[in-house]
Structure 1
Amino acid sequence: MEAKTNAKPSSLRWAILRQAVLRKSHENPDNQSPSAIKRISRKTHQGFNLIPGQVVEDHVDEESNFRDVRICYTLPVDGSPKLFVKQRVDNGADLSDFEVSNRYNVDSTGLVCQWPSEEVLAYFCLSHADMFRSKRVIELGSGYGLAGLVIAATTEALEVVISDGNPAVVDYIQHSIDANCTAFGNTKVKTMTLHWDEEVTYNISNTFDVIVASDCTFFKEFHNALACTVKLLLKDAGPSEAIFFSPKRGDSLDKFLDKIEENGLQFSIIENYDSEVWKHHQGFMADNDSWPSYDKHHCYPLLVRITL
């Protein structure tokens, strides 16, 4: 019988899930063709267009067949260097992405795209450089790490660690660090594979003046581990804080903040934290054509400031 090649995306996703659970490479679930199961479509996301970027290099890896690009970001501050960020833009998810997620107990959303909240975080950091000067900074769940790279290149931070729990994502970040090494001045910049659900054993507990993160509160199963990680990493001597940008996404953000309080941390929420970001937000709310299906609870990141 001929294998199915036109199955619905939902059917393909269930097939991928079944294959990931069974871990039997020889099995062909639901009679789907291997090529259909291997790749499924991924949702693309629009951004706030705060930091202009254009593709300057386009490359297809012969082994993985993924399409990688290098994007040149022009930072909207005079005298700032251009930043080059390597990321995947292939319109598919590979089974290996799910296998890595299972192996390391992490999600694979960092490989999907440059998320809108990450761009807002990067823009905010660029506009508030003083809060990072001479500080030790870590970005959690960084994805492709635009915000961490911006901090490293423009704020005169002492050290910037750009971390993610997915080692495939960390590889992309390292490529970008190498490509921008001349832009960092005296700032020490490095990557780290950091899992929130493990005890922090990297000799970095009680180390950081500032933690930054964007859109890291969606998965509720990671809330307590993330809150514990924030508490462990923040310096308890001198002022320190975590800066999160996250949409409400139903009750997800509220549930995370419950865990923040349970871990003895304090927080404040700011809705209108930057005039330019707010102007873009209001424009999207007024004009559905500029960002179709824009919903403030799922698209607009609130600023959450967390302290010990």
Structure 2
Amino acid sequence: MDSASPPSPPPAQASAAEASGASNASLRWRILRRALLARSASTSRAPEETSNDQQDKNDTNKISRKTSRGFDLIECHMLPISQSTKSHGDSSSRNDNIVECQNDVYVCYKLPCEGSPKLNLVYRREDSLELNDIVASNRYNIDTTGLVCCWPSEEVLAYYCINHSDMFRSKKVLELGSGYGLAGLAIAASTDADEVVISDGNPQVVGYIEQNISINTETFGQTKVNSMVLHWDVEQASEMNSSFDIIVASDCTFFKQFHQSLVRVVKSLLKPSETSQAIFLSPKRGDSLSKFIEVIKKNGLTCELIEKYDPTVWNMHKKYVSGDNRSWPNYNEEHCYPLLVRINSHSK
């Protein structure tokens, strides 16, 4: 045996590792199969379907590091459809803006800032991935993660932006890969930004963003809020070049094949000013974040990586790691704790 080669694990250990890997792979395939099965349009469901749903949740918890509440930084609760737009006075006219769908849920967020404005967001249910979603993913060369849920990094980004509201005053802001748009909507509702554009590459997701903008219009004050489909690998219209003061994004660096396109978008859309910047929040996820930073530097941009950017988020992270807080069972620093990457638009 080559002395530089790592020793092979004992047969018992190797067998256990292989069994664990095979078990996880089997669970993933089983969950995917269930997700792709056509669901009945009927509201009545057979007992075995309900049983399968519960098994889905149990299986997912065994292999997923996703959590429905994440860092739990912004107070929120689910709303019945009839109450989903009643946060600000008489909302009878705004109820018409909500398209009812059995696969949707409605969540009310109470933002932690002056006046405690509320945002009502429409999400797709977490267990409602459909074959059409996979088709759209292949057609547009995008992933479907924006439809799955509001990911923890998005909540952290929203919280960070609310606590740094001064930086957005009179600025034109773009959110990339926004999913349902919590961070962009929070910026629009809690800061004096001039304009906020919330974008995603998935047209289905942008449909949800448009609906969420519509039902929260009165929360935005004088801030203009728009949505758009934005594909990172497609050159943008010339009028968009150098037009944004701040770009924000969360959990957008996991797929390495998109790094070059993502950095190109940031470089082309940010204004050429020393005060312009992009703020990314992403966990390490192996070497994906470090590879993204390498691409940033290769494109002549400067950046800094910040681990402790908010004391509340940092303290919660430490409690999850130590086990003092057990509300996030599969918490893992590399996969769950978002680091802050601040990118400056001016070249080296």
Q: Does 1:129 align with 2:147?
A: no
The 5-angstrom pairing of residues 178-189 of structure 1 reads: 178-189=214-225
Query: Is 1:66–1:88's contact at 8 Å kept on the other side of the alignment?
Result: no
SS at match of 2:334: helix
Query: Is 1:45–1:113's contact at 8 Å kept on the other side of the alignment?
Result: no
Letter in 1 for 2:333: K
* Distance 1:11-1:85 versus aligned 2 partners, 3 A rule: closer
* Distance 1:297-1:267 versus aligned 2 partners, 3 A rule: same
> Match for residue 258 of structure 1?
294
> Match for residue 289 of structure 1?
326
Q: Does 1:56 align with 2:79?
A: yes
- Deviation track 1:73-94 (CA, whole Å, cap 9, x = no partner) reads 0112231310111101141310
* Distance 1:202-1:176 versus aligned 2 partners, 3 A rule: farther
Q: Does 1:196 align with 2:215?
A: no
1:129, distance to aligned residue in structure 2 (A): 0.2
> Match for residue 103 of structure 2?
67
The 5-angstrom pairing of residues 80-91 of structure 1 reads: 80-91=116-127
Q: Which of 194, 214, 221 is residue 158 of structure 1 equivalent to?
A: 194
Higher helix share: 2
Q: Please list every run of 5 or more consecutive structure 2 residues that lacks an aligned counterpart in the other structure.
A: 1-25, 38-51, 83-98
Q: Which moved more, 1:49-58 or 1:160-169?
A: 49-58
Q: Which moved more, 1:71-80 or 1:287-296?
A: 287-296
* Distance 1:197-1:307 versus aligned 2 partners, 3 A rule: same
SS at match of 1:207: coil
Letter in 1 for 2:219: A
Query: Is 2:67–2:328's contact at 8 Å kept on the other side of the alignment?
Result: no
1:239, distance to aligned residue in structure 2 (A): 1.6
Q: Does 1:112 align with 2:148?
A: yes
1:291, distance to aligned residue in structure 2 (A): 1.2
Q: Which of 25, 29, 41 is residue 10 of structure 1 equivalent to?
A: 29
- Mapped partners of 2:114, 2:226: distance in 1: 26
Q: TM-score, normalised by structure 2?
A: 0.75
- Deviation track 1:112-132 (CA, whole Å, cap 9, x = no partner) reads 000000000000000000000
- Deviation track 1:189-236 (CA, whole Å, cap 9, x = no partner) reads 000100001111262110000000000000111000000000001000
Q: Does 1:306 align with 2:343?
A: yes
> Match for residue 283 of structure 2?
247
- Mapped partners of 1:12, 1:205: distance in 2: 42
Letter in 2 for 1:235: K
- Deviation track 1:150-194 (CA, whole Å, cap 9, x = no partner) reads 100111100000000000000001111001000111111000100
> Match for residue 248 of structure 2?
212
- Deviation track 1:243-263 (CA, whole Å, cap 9, x = no partner) reads 000000000001111111111
* Distance 1:8-1:76 versus aligned 2 partners, 3 A rule: closer
Q: Which of 287, 303, 306 is residue 270 of structure 1 equivalent to?
A: 306
Q: TM-score, normalised by structure 1?
A: 0.85
Q: Which has the larger radius of gyration?
A: 2
> Match for residue 29 of structure 1?
none
Query: Is 1:135–1:159's contact at 8 Å kept on the other side of the alignment?
Result: yes
Q: Please list every run of 5 or more consecutive structure 1 residues that lacks an aligned counterpart in the other structure.
A: 1-6, 20-35
* Distance 1:66-1:218 versus aligned 2 partners, 3 A rule: farther
Query: Is 2:175–2:199's contact at 8 Å kept on the other side of the alignment?
Result: yes
> Match for residue 170 of structure 1?
206
Q: Does 1:221 align with 2:257?
A: yes
Runs of 4+ in 1 over 6 A off after TM superposition: 14-17
* Distance 1:152-1:95 versus aligned 2 partners, 3 A rule: same
1:9, distance to aligned residue in structure 2 (A): 4.6
* Distance 1:259-1:132 versus aligned 2 partners, 3 A rule: same
- Mapped partners of 2:224, 2:30: distance in 1: 46
1:14, distance to aligned residue in structure 2 (A): 7.7
Query: Is 1:68–1:90's contact at 8 Å kept on the other side of the alignment?
Result: no
* Distance 1:64-1:106 versus aligned 2 partners, 3 A rule: farther
